[in-house]
Structure 1
C-alpha cells in the first residue's frame, strides 16, 4: 500500500513537471537547476490540498509524497490542511498514517520530529495526538505487541517530553510492565525534564524512574535522579539545576 502511495505521488509530481534524477529533482521550468527534496516539498506539497479530490485522496497523496521525499515540510502541509478552513482532515486516516510510519523499519525522522515539535508541543493537539499514536493501544502493545508496534511505542515515548504529565503518566505506567520499553521510557523522562515544553511531576517521576531496569552506567541517569529528588520540574524553570546535578554526581 505504501509503495502504491509513493508511485501515485511520483506520478502527481510528474504532472506538475517535477521529476527525480540521480542527485535530486528537476522541474520542467528549470531543467538545469537541481532541487533538493526539501525544495520540492516547500514548492509543491501544499498544492496537494488544492487538488480536486476528496479529503481522503488528498491525504493519501500527501502521505505518499512524505514517503517519497522523506521531508518534514510535507508533515507541515498536512497539519496546515488539518487546521485550515477545509479541515479537519479525516482523523482515522490521519492518525493511521502516522502510526504506520512510526512502525516502519527505516528511519522516520521527519515523522518523529513532526510529532514532537508540532503535535506534542501544541497543547491544543497534544493529548489527542498522544492518545492516537500510543495511549489508546498501549495495553495491547505491552501485552502482545509486534516488533513494529514496539518500534512505534519506543519512538513515541522518546519524543513525549512536551506531553502534559497527567496525559502521559498512565501510558508510562503501562509501558513500564515491558522491560523492552524501559530505555525508551528513560529517554521520555529525560526529555520531559530537558525539553522547553517538557512536563513531569518530580516525585512521581522519580518513583517510576527508579523502577526502570537500566544499566547502572546509563548516561545522565544519576543527574536526572538528582534533579527530580530536589523537586525540579523542568530545565528551563530551573536553569542551574542540571549543572548542579552534574557537579554533585561527578
Structure 2
C-alpha cells in the first residue's frame, strides 16, 4: 500500500513536470536546475489539495508525497488543508496515515517533528492529536506489544513534551506497565521539562520517574529528579534550575 502511494505521488509529480534524477529532482521548466526534496515540497505539495479528486484521494496522494520526499513541509500542507475552509480532513484517514508512518521501520523524523512542533505545541489540537496517535489505544499497545505498536509508542512519547500533563499522564501511567517503554517515558518526562512549551506537574512526574527501570548511569536522570524534587515545572519558567541541578549532581 505504501509503495502504491509512493508511485502515485511520483506519477503525479511527473504530470506536474517534475521528475526524480540521481542527485535530486528537476522540472521541465528548468531542466538544468537541480532541486532538493524540500524545494519540491514547498513548490508543489500544496497543489495536491487543489486537484479534482475526492478529499480522501487528495489526502492519500499527499501522504504518498510525504513518503516519496520525506520532507516535513508536506505535513505542513496537510495541516493547512485540515484547517482550511474546506476542512477538516477525514479524521480516520488523517490519523490513520500518521499512525502507519509512526509504526513503520526506518526514519520517521518528518512525522514526529510535525507532531511535536505543530499538532502538540498547539493546545487547540494537541489533545486530539495525542489521543489519535497514542492515547486512544495505549491499552492495545501494551497488550499487543508488537514491534510496530511499540515503535509508534516510543516515537510519540519522546515528542510529547508540549502536550498538557492532564492529557498525557494517563497514557504515561499505562505505558509504565511495559519496562521496554521506560526509556521513552524518561525522555518524555525530560522533554516535558525542557521543551519551550513543555508541561508537567512536578510531584506526579517525580512519582512516575521513580518507578522507571533505568540504568543507573542514565544521562540526566539525577538532574531531572533534582528539579522535580525542587518543584520546578519547566526549564523556561525556572531558568537557573537545571544548571543548579547539574552542579549539585556532579
Return the TM-score normalized by structure 1.
1.00
Deviations for 1:55-108, whole angstroms, at most 9, x for unmatched residues?
100000000000000000000000000000110000000000000000011001
Give the distance between the partners of 2:168 and 2:207, measured in 1 at CA. Answer: 15
Alpha-carbon deviation of 1:183?
Answer: 0.3
Greater CA drift, 62-71 or 143-152: 143-152
Q: Which runs of 5+ in 2 are unaligned?
A: none
**1:25 partner SS:** strand
Alpha-carbon deviation of 1:145?
Answer: 2.6
Provide the residue aligned with 1:112 in structure 2.
112
Provide the residue aligned with 1:204 in structure 2.
204
Give the distance between the partners of 1:62 and 1:176, measured in 2 at CA. Answer: 35
Provide the residue aligned with 1:233 in structure 2.
233
Query: Which runs of structure 1 show a deviation greater than 3 angstroms over 4 or more consecutive aligned residues?
Result: none
Within the alignment, does 1:103 sit opposite 2:67 as a pair? no
Deviations for 1:206-244, whole angstroms, at most 9, x for unmatched residues?
011000000000000000000000000000000000000
Provide the residue aligned with 2:174 in structure 1.
174
Alpha-carbon deviation of 1:141?
Answer: 0.6
Give the distance between the partners of 1:48 and 1:122, measured in 2 at CA. Answer: 25
Within the alignment, does 1:243 sit opposite 2:243 as a pair? yes
Pairwise mapping of residues 130-209 of structure 1 onto structure 2 (< 5 A)? Answer: 130-209=130-209
Deviations for 1:118-149, whole angstroms, at most 9, x for unmatched residues?
00000000000000000000011111231001
Return the TM-score normalized by structure 2.
1.00
**2:26 partner SS:** strand
Pairwise mapping of residues 8-27 of structure 1 onto structure 2 (< 5 A)? Answer: 8-27=8-27
Give the distance between the partners of 1:64 and 1:105, measured in 2 at CA. Answer: 16
Aligned length: 250
Provide the residue aligned with 1:4 in structure 2.
4
Alpha-carbon deviation of 1:54?
Answer: 1.1
